[in-house]
């Protein structure tokens, strides 16, 4: 059982982190080589599609074939295979597992204010902090290339993300624990990361996010019945009605979900009645998983929409032992996702919980909770490095909740050696991802794997 720290400390964490440089030099993080026996892109995508809804798999393949950045977004497992064969320090943290540049964004806190943080935790596990950082850096290179940025700008964005991570971790290491836990409020993020060129984009995203609510979604996606209740309207292929038995099973599962919430949330949900359930396709990597939207309505007819999303085993799980990390028993995949999210975010959705339906684990959360995100593949070159610094700082803040920032900071150090090394890795891995993407596209054309038309 976790307990209080021992006092005085046996060894200063910063010194221990610095000593790790002898075993795993910071310069070694530039290493990447394709391992013998590595699955090709088509085989990897097929493997990651096991257990998904068969008729939706071609849609997922089509999304991944759209661009190398899109391929990376759906290939967390393949990258974990590769990362398991790169140097690791052995310092563990709760990691996102899929910390690419599009998995950061805005969402509402309990009072409706907007916060910015990591916002996708399907793959979260306890693992090497370096994996998140390298995935972020590589994704910035790919996003920049898609946006038409120069190679120098793409590499600089990766370099700056690592630098911001390192400097933020160093700042957190110097603060009292409670101050570090809540450090870098969102209103300070732009100045902390010198991301002033991104201000206009963030303001536009924020304005859009404020209107991205359950009410707006319900107005577009439902119809009013004669008795004043609402029901979802088919909008294939993204939104579709489901058989009554399937809808009843999802609705019934919310009883178990209520047991996973803090008791102070129950009076709130007790004032809503379930109106309807529909199936809704989400994401890129998540396409083909079972995902539902549940429409609730209060006494004034105001809607609240919950998402009940299947929680599959983390794609990182098979690769952790090769990196020296033990894999413990997962009691419930939805619970894993929810607890991982709460461990990493400063503020989480107040209605975050988990349940099971038809023998499958699910996570439950608010849908369209004023969510908004920056599209990193649409950023101008002078904004890409700003975005890299901002996301690097957010990632450091998230990791510091479960890993001692003094330990990681001691390893990262004051100079740019780690920044240069990971930036080199990012460029090399972006090249590999482009090659993997080309293999997938060729596989679609040759009929080795089916994709939605348009590829």
Residue 455: pLDDT band with limits 50, 70, 90: very low
Q: What is the structure's pLDDT at 454?
A: 53
pTM > 0.75: yes
- Give the pLDDT confidence of 367-378 residue by residue, as tens digits: 988 999 999 999
Q: Torsion angle of alpha carbons 68, 73, 75, 78, nearest 10°?
A: 90
- Give the pLDDT confidence of 87-97 residue by residue, as tens digits: 999 999 999 99
Mean pLDDT, rounded, of the chain: 94
Rounded mean pLDDT of 292-320? Answer: 96
Residue 63: pLDDT band with limits 50, 70, 90: very high
Quick check: 2 pLDDT over 80? no
The residue extents of the domains of the chain are 13-209+377-446
């Amino acid at each position: 059982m976790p307990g209080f720290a021992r006092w005085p400390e046996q060894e200063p964490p910063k010194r221990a982190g610095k000593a790790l440089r002898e075993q795993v030099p910071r310069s070694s993080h530039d290493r990447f080589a394709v391992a013998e026996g590595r699955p090709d892109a088509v085989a990897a995508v097929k493997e990651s599609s096991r257990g998904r809804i068969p008729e939706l798999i071609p849609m997922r393949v089509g999304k991944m074939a759209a661009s190398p950045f899109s391929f990376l977004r759906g290939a967390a497992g393949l990258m974990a295979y590769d990362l398991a064969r790169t140097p690791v320090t052995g310092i563990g943290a709760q990691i996102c597992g899929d910390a690419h540049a599009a998995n950061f964004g805005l969402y509402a806190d309990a009072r409706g204010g907007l916060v910015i943080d990591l916002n996708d935790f399907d793959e979260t596990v306890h693992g090497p902090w370096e994996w998140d950082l390298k995935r972020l850096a590589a994704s910035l290179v790919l996003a920049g290339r898609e946006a038409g940025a120069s190679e120098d700008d793409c590499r600089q964005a990766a370099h700056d993300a690592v630098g911001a991570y390192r400097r933020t971790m160093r700042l957190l290491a110097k603060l009292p624990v409670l101050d570090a836990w809540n450090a870098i409020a969102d209103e300070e993020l732009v100045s902390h990361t010198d991301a002033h060129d991104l201000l206009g984009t963030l303001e536009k995203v924020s304005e859009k996010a404020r209107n991205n609510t359950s009410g707006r979604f319900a107005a577009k996606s439902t119809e009013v019945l004669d008795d004043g209740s609402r029901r979802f309207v088919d909008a294939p292929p993204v939104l579709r009605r489901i058989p009554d038995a399937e809808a009843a099973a999802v609705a019934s599962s919310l009883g178990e979900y209520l047991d996973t919430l803090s008791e102070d949330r129950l009076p709130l949900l007790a004032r809503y009645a379930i109106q309807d359930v529909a199936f809704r396709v989400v994401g890129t990597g998540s396409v083909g998983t079972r995902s539902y939207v549940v429409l609730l309505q209060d006494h004034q007819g105001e809607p609240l929409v919950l998402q009940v999303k299947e929680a599959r085993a983390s794609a990182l799980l098979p690769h952790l032992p090769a990196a020296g990390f033990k894999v413990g028993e997962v009691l419930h995949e939805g619970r894993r996702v929810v607890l991982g999210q709460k461990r990493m975010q400063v503020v989480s959705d107040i209605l975050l919980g988990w349940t099971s339906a038809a023998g499958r684990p699910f996570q439950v959360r608010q849908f369209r909770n004023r969510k908004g995100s920056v599209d990193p593949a649409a950023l101008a070159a002078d904004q890409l490095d700003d975005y890299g610094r901002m996301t690097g700082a957010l990632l450091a803040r998230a990791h510091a909740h479960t890993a001692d920032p003094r330990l990681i900071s001691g390893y990262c150090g004051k100079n740019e050696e780690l920044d240069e090394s990971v930036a080199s890795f990012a460029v090399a891995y972006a090249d590999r991802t482009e090659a993997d993407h080309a293999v997938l596209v060729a596989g679609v054309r040759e009929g080795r794997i089916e994709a939605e038309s348009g590829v």
